Amino acid sequence: MKDLKILITAVGSPGSATNIRYLKSVEERKIFLIGTDLNNDKIGKHWCDKFYTVPKGEDENFIPCLLEIIKKEKPDVLLPQSSSEVIPLSKNKGVLEDAGVKVLISSEESVYKSENKAELYKSLEGGPVKIPKFRLVNTLADFLDAVKVLGYPNTPVCFKPPISKGTRGFRIIRDDVSRKHALLNERPINRFISINEFKEIFENDTNFPELLVMQFVEGGEHTTDPLTRNGKTLLCPVKTRENERAGLAMKFVQTENRDLVKSTEYIVEKLNLDWILNVQFIGEYLIELNPRISTQIFTPGVNIPYLAIKLILGEITEDEVRSYSEKVKIDCTSLRYFDQIYYS
């Protein structure tokens, strides 16, 4: 079987360790990994066979830089791992594939609707998938009106920029949280803000940001990690998200949840999504959709990144991918931990 070269981006991201381990564990052929990230001080540099620094995804030189790497290294497949890169990659998918690499990314329209939470919620309104009540606002007056409509001050309300990475820009509006207590006892990443604090920040700001104001939902967190093709869900593992620190879950348990699988199947079909995704739920509510690979649970025999690579190269059929559902190990637990690499 032909050896493969895989170009994998954002190799310093939290999920990289597992995803790289997945690809390095392949026994039927050699996988040569070419990693990229913003600078040299990234852990993934030491796990890949070759490494390049690249600009941020929104930088105009990001795609030209990737094209230079593709021209030099001639990778077979490009596997993106960063939300900041998926929009430019989807926009330039044709250019990249003309250069000789298969790109594991959905269409530009599908990626935009996935990344822009307001567009995502609008696309799913009135359907069977539960979404939080929401308002998209562009002024302070609209913001203050939206939080009242959504239940404040009787219930907590949250907000976030429609397009953002991870928990950046996310805050919960609650006036029953002591600022003194937060200052002295909480980490600097405290997620709570009072309505008065918000008004102080923006009341004289002439450049009010576009914000998505949402019903704050609580409950158990789960994600699905589907492998999809042309709007069809072929494989859909479900896992819990537990013990969160700084927006990162530190514990995952693979589980069964047919309702979340059905919700995922509907979303994938509605948005005509492709390849590896990450769909986040709180209770039954859809919270976020990442049109890229995320942290995976390593289940022996179910190597989702490698299955996606074989599928895009035409080495495996959709029905063969579906058959791997029987191999997903339920109640398998994964713990994220911090480690170090030494180099000189």
Cβ atoms of residues 114 and 107 within 8 Å: no
Q: What pLDDT shows up at residue 172?
A: 86
* pLDDT (0 to 100) of residue 65: 97
pLDDT digits (tens, 9 = 90+) for 57-78: 999 999 999 999 999 999 999 9
11, 52 Cβ separation under 8 angstroms: no
Q: How many CB atoms lie within 10 A of CB 20?
A: 22
Mean pLDDT rounded to a whole number for the chain:
90
Annotated domain spans of the chain: 1-105, 106-129+217-344, 133-215
CB atoms closer than 10 angstroms to residue 173: 23
CATH code linked to domain 1-105: 3.40.50.20
Q: CATH number of 133-215: 3.40.50.800, 3.10.560.10, 3.30.1490.20, 3.40.1190.20?
A: 3.30.1490.20
Residue indicated by tokens 């040299």: 40
CATH assignment of 106-129+217-344, among 3.30.470.20, 3.20.20.140, 3.30.70.1450, 3.30.565.10? 3.30.470.20
pLDDT tens digits for range 142-198: 999 999 999 888 888 999 999 876 667 788 887 766 666 666 566 655 677 788 888
**pLDDT at position 72, please?**
98
Helix (H) or strand (E) holding 243: strand 238-245
Strands 102-103 and 278-282: unpaired
The model's pLDDT over 128-143, given as tens digits with 9 standing for 90+, comes to 999 999 999 999 999 9
**Choice between 299 and 339, residue whose per-residue pLDDT is larger:** 339
Where residue 204 falls among pLDDT bands split at 50, 70, 90?
Answer: confident
User: Residue 332 in contact with residue 254, Cβ under 8 Å?
Assistant: yes
CB 6 within 8 A of CB 20: no
pTM of the predicted model as reported, rounded to 2 decimal places: 0.90
pLDDT confidence bin for 261, thresholds 50/70/90 = very high
pLDDT top residue among 201 and 312: 312
